Amino acid sequence: MGLIQRAIEEAGIPTLSISLNRTITEKVKPPRAVLVGYPLGHPLGRPCDKKTQKSLLQESLTLLRDIRVPGTLVDASDRYRFNGTLIPPV
Amino acid sequence: MSIKTEKDKLIAILFEKHPVLVDQWAKSAPIIVNITVPWSPVTGNPAEGPVALVTTAGVHLKSQTPFDMEDPEGDPSFRVIPSTSFTTDLTITHNYYDHGDADVDVNVVFPIERLDELCAEGTVGRVAPRHFSFMGHIQGGQLTRLIGQTAPTVAAELKKDGVRAVLLTPA
């Protein structure tokens, strides 16, 4: 995914990606990324957890606006972390 | 179901349940290591848009040709997802991750509804007319095609749509 991101950035459009693995992201070096603590297949977290999904999307847009150093990988807050269950909160 | 498909899906489940395996794989996998970083400075507030989504989760319209799961080097083609698409119009073809939860709620990998909601609330100014979808797990000669052809094509299409910010989601 980082390679696609780099192509879009090279075309002149600012980009930010959600990362699920630090090692891969550090190798590919996308312009801006936010590392979440979710397992593969869950970049936005749990299914049907609209509140968290929307919050992460909003935070991603804020990071896209604020990151000023090329290649920055930001750790997302603990709110976006696998806590032992992928069952959505009631 | 072919033996390859069964094997790929089993590995996907193991990787989801045990992130340490992903990390061990990533350390020795033939991933391109880049030194430089491309950079397009942000001007103004990118949330004013148009904002587009690009995913590698193998999402596509049910009416579109599925991604090729038989080529061991992957399928570097892409699918155009009109931003007016309903989630019920979408499906996922991708054997290299467990998309059981994304099948229940595609926003887990492709937050099309959440982006629309942010737009309705005014946090996002405009959503782009088109989003784009790839499948991940591209290797070998197909990686060359991705880098040389399909990724730059999508970048050019995003430019045509006047997109000012792109959020990318993996799987």
Could you read off the pLDDT tens digit of each residue along chain B, which spans 171 residues? 677 777 777 777 777 777 777 777 777 777 778 889 999 999 999 999 999 999 999 999 999 999 999 888 999 999 999 999 999 999 999 988 889 999 999 999 999 999 999 999 999 999 999 999 999 888 889 999 999 999 999 999 999 999 999 999 999
- Give yes or no for A69 touching B (CB within 8 A): no
Of B117, B151, B165, the CB nearest to A3: B151
- CB contact under 8 Å between A18 and B169, yes or no, is yes
Sign of CA dihedral B44, B49, B50, B56: positive
Query: Which residues 6+ apart lie within 8 Å of B151 measured at CB?
Result: A3, A4, A7, A8
Of B46, B56, B115, the CB nearest to A65: B46
A residues 19-48 lying closer than 8 A (beta carbon) to B: 19-24, 27-31, 39-48
- CB contact under 8 Å between B102 and A10, yes or no, is no
Inside any domain, residue A74: yes
* B128 vs A81, residue with greater confidence: B128
Q: State residue B10's pLDDT score.
A: 74
This prediction's pTM: 0.90
State the residue range of the domain holding A23.
Answer: 2-78
Tokens found for residue A60: 């991603």
Distance CA B87, CA B48 (A): 24
- CB contact under 8 Å between B158 and A39, yes or no, is no
Q: State residue B36's pLDDT score.
A: 93
**Diameter of chain A measured on Cα atoms:** 43
Q: State residue B9's pLDDT score.
A: 73
Q: State residue B37's pLDDT score.
A: 94
Shortest CA distance to B138 belongs to which of B79, B37, B67, B40?
B67
Q: Is residue A4 predicted with pLDDT exceeding 70?
A: yes
Please check whether residue B109 is in contact with residue B57, taking contact to mean a CB–CB distance below 8 angstroms: yes
- CB contact under 8 Å between A27 and B170, yes or no, is no
* A38 vs B28, residue with greater confidence: A38
What would the DSSP string read from start to end of chain A?
-HHHHHHHHHTT--EEEEES-HHHHHHH--SEEEE-B--TT-TT-STT-HHHHHHHHHHHHHHHHH--STTEEEEPPGGGB--S--SPP-
Distance CA B153, CA A10 (A): 12
Domain ranges of chain B: 47-169
Of A7, A17, A23, the CB nearest to B151: A7
Domain count across chain A = 1
* A78 vs B122, residue with greater confidence: B122
**Nearest 10 degrees: Cα torsion A16, A19, A23, A25:** -20
- CB contact under 8 Å between B101 and A20, yes or no, is no
Nearest chain A Cα distance for residue B72, angstroms: 18
- Give yes or no for B40 touching A (CB within 8 A): yes
- CB contact under 8 Å between A3 and B114, yes or no, is no
Sign of CA dihedral A28, A30, A34, A36: negative
Weakest mean pLDDT among A38-42, A66-70, B57-61: A38-42
Query: Which residues 6+ apart lie within 8 Å of B75 measured at CB?
Result: B67, B68, B69, B135, B138, B142
pLDDT category of residue A88 using cuts at 50, 70 and 90? low
Shortest CA distance to B3 belongs to which of B64, B93, B72, B101?
B72
Inside any domain, residue A52: yes
Q: Is residue A90 predicted with pLDDT exceeding 70?
A: no
* A83 vs B144, residue with greater confidence: B144
Cross-strand partners of B90? B61
Of A7, A40, A44, the CB nearest to B22: A40
Write phi, then psi, for A89 (nearest 5 degrees).
-65, 150
Inside any domain, residue A87: no
Distance CA B162, CA B156 (A): 10
Q: Is residue A87 predicted with pLDDT exceeding 70?
A: no
The fraction of chain A above a pLDDT of 70, given in percent, is 91
Q: Which residues in chain A touch residue B41, judged by CB atoms under 8 angstroms apart?
A: 14
